[in-house]
Amino acid sequence: MKKGNCAVLLNEDNLTYYWIGFILADGHIGKGVRLKVALSNKDKDHIIKLQNFLSVETLREYPTYSEFSIMDTSPIRNFCKKFKIEQNKTEKACDISQVKGDLLKSLFIGFIDGDGYIGKQYKREDCCLFIKCHSAWLDNLNIFAKEYLGKESAYINKAGYANLNIGNNKILKELKQFAIINKLPVLERKWKNINLE
């Protein structure tokens, strides 16, 4: 029996696409029907927000992390079909090529909260965004790169990971401003380094 509602993941709005981006980065989908998300306890508030979004009843808490899982067969299958998500989505990247405009921006912000790091540049007040993930995600990182940098600047590093770095503070400020205006539930610890003043 399902104890939650994954049908909301099929909605076409900014909040949904924020959580889609986060799930693509940090979630696990087993056998195409069960969604599982686990986060370090420093981000416990964040997993509770996602738990509430999906109306999941139970959050399991452990000494270092918290997690939930939900089996909601039809909506999760449709979600996987929509984004071509396969069993091992880490090594077989999904397809986000059909996502455009504000929905892509929302998805990117959610993906940053899952897989990104925002830090100050050396001896500067400006920030830089760093994303590192499995090499299979290179094409998706280049979708983000083309959208925000105007060119495919993601690359495979020496260790074999796909990397995307954005050091343009104007772009990062625009993303943060967009998140604020659209009330996206971003991870404050990541975005606080971007000063909007």
pLDDT tens digits along 41-70 = 999 999 999 999 999 999 999 999 999 999
Residues 110-119: what's their mean pLDDT? 95
* CATH architecture observed for domain 6-83: Roll (3.10)
The domain made up of 101-191 has a fold known as Endonuclease I-creI (3.10.28)
Return phi, psi of residue 61, to 5°.
Answer: -115, 135
Which residues is 129 bridged to in the sheet? 118, 166
Q: Identify the band that residue 31 occupies on the pLDDT scale cut at 50, 70 and 90.
A: confident
Q: What pLDDT score was predicted for residue 126?
A: 84
Question: What integer pLDDT is reported at residue 90 of this predicted model?
Answer: 58
Q: For residue 131, what are its two tokens? A: 């994303």
* Positions of CATH 3.10.28.10 in the chain: 6-83, 101-191
How far is CA 46 from each of CA 43, 52, 65, 160, 193, rounded to the nearest angstrom?
A: 5, 10, 12, 30, 18
